[in-house]
Structure 1
Amino acid sequence: MNIVKDINRVRRTLFTGATNLISNHAERIEINDQSKINKILICRPNHRLGNLLLITPLIQEIESTFPAAKIDLIVKGGLAVPLFAEYASINNIYQLPKRPFLHPINYLKNYFKVTRKAYDLVINTVEESSSGRIFTKKSKGTHKLFGKPAKIYWGDKSDLKHIAKKPILALKELSGRSRGDAMPQLDLKLTLDELTKGQQILQNITNNNKQTICIFTFATGNKMHSKAWWNKLYLELRLNFSDYNIVEILPMENVSQIDFKAPTFYGREIRELGAVMAASELFLGADSGIMHLASAAHVPTLGLFNVTDIDKYRPYNNWSHAIDTNVTDHLAIISHLKSTLATKESIDAKKHFKAIA
């Protein structure tokens, strides 16, 4: 019996029951004068790497729609500060404690800071988030989005399920912008200095001129594939990509599902880790925060899904794919990798010839 898990289960049940009384729909008031939207609050009370990175497309959409606006974020933990360091539109980041019941004073202090401030627009990024709905409801906002776009949508229906795209569609609806515009991608906004350092670190690991494929064998809970599964895939990688380095990105737990057979990299600084992956040609790993970090570093990303909702969390930056490992065998994954690398190499070659023409 796990008392902590039982308490959390009861807390979530009570919290969800209370917040179900709060509407999920926006206060449907069209924004006729976008120049009047200057102060925006984004509610994402979560501390996980992936969940925070998944709001970067929304921030870009806001910057494009309301260029003069400043954005406040309500999140959990301190990870948001380095993640959004290069976003000039970010004003304040209110950091709730990861465990509010253990730090009630800190939680309430930030709660009152947010709810006493007036905003032109408040956005709850995830419809199912109980705490996000509460902050959105209690905040002082002229316009509010609770995370749910209109039921009628003529575009790609999977966009309505994707956790990063859904609030963007709701914002487009409120602002009157075309839904046909390309969706912003996850973006860590790595600087040139950071990218250069990432290349140097990767070069020091591999000590050769080969291109690199990064893998991440860890994941939380049932999302993690077995050692037998990963070792079989690693063998296929070695056989089919002998012209590439295979570098394993290690989690903070310092564990490896392939028992450290490949060269490894472990980084405590999240932006540095993103820069190292940005220097690679491709990332392969299970649905995780590191998968989303690779996507935000603009690496072609192959996400391995076995339990989580693919349509909700799939990577969608250039040349990326989500693979359901319940129905896709190792050889099919290798085929996906070859196709992705071939596409990337072809496009990179076209860019090179265009640059020197």
Structure 2
Amino acid sequence: MSNKRTVPFESIRAAGKRWQRNNRRRFHSLLARLLGTPEARRRPLAPDTRRILVVRLNKRLGNILFLTPMLRSLAATLPEARIDVLIQTPAQAKLLQSLPGIGRIWIQENRLLPMVRTLRAIRAQRYDLTIDPTGNSASNRFGMVLIPARQRMGFARSDQWLPLTHAASKSESRHQALQAVELLTNAISQPPVTTFDTLAVFPDAADQKAADDRWQAALGERPPGAPVIGFFSRATGRKMLPRHWWQAWILEVRRAVPEAILLEILPGADAEPVIPEIAHVAIKPLTELAALMSRLDQFVAADSGPMHLAAASGTPVIGLFRATLPSDYAPLGQDCETVAGDELTPAHVAQRLAERIARRRQAKPRVSGL
């Protein structure tokens, strides 16, 4: 009988990934010592800074929406500049295109030939400034290094291997959207930076019309004064609350706010609603979805892209945090709040929702009968 132990394939693969990560870390550390920017550099921008490229090579909807405060701050600070953005997902382009000051949204495709064509077209723009809005994305850095620019902006770090002309030290905020705004204020000494601290998107008239049609199809004529509460029951990984949690929450909402109308936002037309008889809608164009969300009185969701999209649309949001930290990923919008820890129960969230609806009713100005 053999005493030899077989090594599972998964263990070999995990060891290989660790080896790759360690080698990548050593390589980045070497580049950082030779070329990088370990210390902050707060300097004036060149007076003729007119063409700007922001590089954010990430597919997550929330991470792309986290750009919006910084992009609005850039546009307000440099009103004569054109701001282009390099992203990965075509479906997200129109969200950013709606912002003031935005020029072109470049899409980095995964196929080699289209990627090379896009890179050549970007390099031909001769940007005055390129910006990496995060401090930990190797993809952003590789994109930046391939695109020539007179000025480069990013975060100063011990492993920052990009030579930067403008570099910010570690930001005070943990939230990625606010860190990107702090990057501007901490790396630019002149001109003074005008800042925004909330997410924002601005759907156009066609999106608004499409949202009106979807709203009527899903809800019809609602009773006067009845609040419409939207919710999104999905999320990725451990962030998602179980189906039975949402079913219990619906029962609690019906007790706490019996006049409310519920509308579930589904991730796709083939997704199964939490409770089939509740109104539900699946909308693929993100700007159209944002336009519909702006009509809601409240929105409830776990930490997810739709949660951030609702905040960006101006809708009051309750964000539910099971596996991530509100300090890092809270919805940034008007009248948004988070629930986490022991308070993350269906009854407590429903009660918070009822209190918010009551406060908003009291805050609405009364119409004079005279």
Normalized against structure 1, the TM-score is what?
0.83
Q: Which amino acid aligns with 2:142?
A: I
Alpha-carbon contact 2:246-2:274 (below 8 Å) kept: yes
Equivalent pair of 1:223/1:307 in contact (CA under 8 Å): yes
Distance 1:307 1:79, change over 3 A: same
Contact 1:121 1:142 (C-alpha < 8 Å) held by counterparts: yes
Q: 2:263 aligns with which of 237, 243, 247?
A: 247
**Worse-matched range after superposition: 24-33 or 107-116:** 24-33
Counterpart of 1:63 in structure 2 is 75
Aligned: 1:146 with 2:154 = yes
Change (3 A) 1:80 1:238: same
What is the deviation of 1:292?
Answer: 1.1
SS at match of 1:307: coil
Q: CA deviation at 1:193?
A: 5.5
Task: Report the AA paired with residue 318 of structure 2.
Answer: L
**Correspondence for 1:126:** 134
Structure 1 residues 257, 196: closer, same or farther in 2, change over 3 A?
closer
Q: State percent identity of aligned pairs.
A: 21
5 Å-filtered alignment, 1:228-243, equals 228-243=244-259
Aligned to 1:265: 281
* Residue 354 (structure 2) pairs with residue 338 (structure 1): yes
**CA apart distance, 1:341:** 2.4
**Cα deviation, residue 230, structure 1:** 1.4
141-150 vs 213-222, which moves further: 141-150
1:183-208 Cα offsets, whole Å, 9 max, x none, are: 33211112355445434432332222
Matching residue of 1:172? 185
State the secondary structure of the residue aligned to 2:199.
Answer: coil
**Quick one: which amino acid aligns to residue 297 of structure 1?**
S
SS of 1:36 mapped into structure 2: coil
TM-score, structure 2 as length reference = 0.81
> For residue 212 of structure 1, what is the amino acid of its counterpart?
V
Quick one: structure 1 residues 182 and 56, their matched pair in 2 at CA, closer, same or farther if it must change by over 3 Å? closer
Contact 1:49 1:79 in 2 (8 A): no
Distance 1:55 1:39 in 2: 17
Residues 48-89 of structure 1 show CA distances to partners (whole Å, capped at 9, x for unaligned) of 222211111111000011101111111102123221232342
Tell me, what secondary structure is at the counterpart of 1:317?
A: coil
**Counterpart for residue 104 of structure 1:** 112
Q: State how far apart, in whole Å, the 1-side matches of 2:229 and 2:181 are.
A: 32
Q: Which amino acid aligns with 1:219?
A: A
Q: 1:305 aligns with which of 308, 318, 321?
A: 321
- Closer, same or farther: CA 239–43 of 1 in aligned 2, 3 Å: same
Equivalence for 2:307: 291
Instruction: Report if aligned partners of 1:218, 1:257 keep a CA contact under 8 Å in 2.
Output: no
Deviation at 1:343, TM superposition (A): 3.6
Equivalent position SS for 1:164 = helix
Deviations 1:191-232 (A, max 9, x none): 355445434432332222322000100112221111121111
Aligned residue number for residue 187 of structure 1: 200
1:282 aligns with 2:279: no
Cα RMSD, aligned residues only: 3.3
Whichever of the two has the greater Rg, that structure is 2
Deviation of 1:337 (Å):
1.4
Alignment partner of 1:84 out of 68, 77, 96: 96
Q: Is the 8 A contact 1:300 1:319 kept in 2?
A: yes
SS at match of 2:177: coil
Partner residue in 2 for 1:42: 54
Query: How far apart are residue 316 of structure 1 and its match?
Result: 1.9
- Alignment partner, residue 239 of structure 2: 223
How far apart are 1:237 and its partner, in Å?
Answer: 1.3
SS at match of 1:161: coil
| Residue ranges of structure 2 left out of the alignment (5+ in a row) | 1-8, 157-166
Distance across 2 between alignment mates of 1:296 and 1:38: 27
* Counterpart selection for 1:198 from 211, 231, 238: 211
More moved, 219-228 vs 318-327 = 318-327
Number of equivalent positions: 343
Change (3 A) 1:91 1:11: farther
Structure 1: stretches of 5+ with no match in the other structure: none
Q: SS where residue 332 of structure 1 aligns?
A: helix
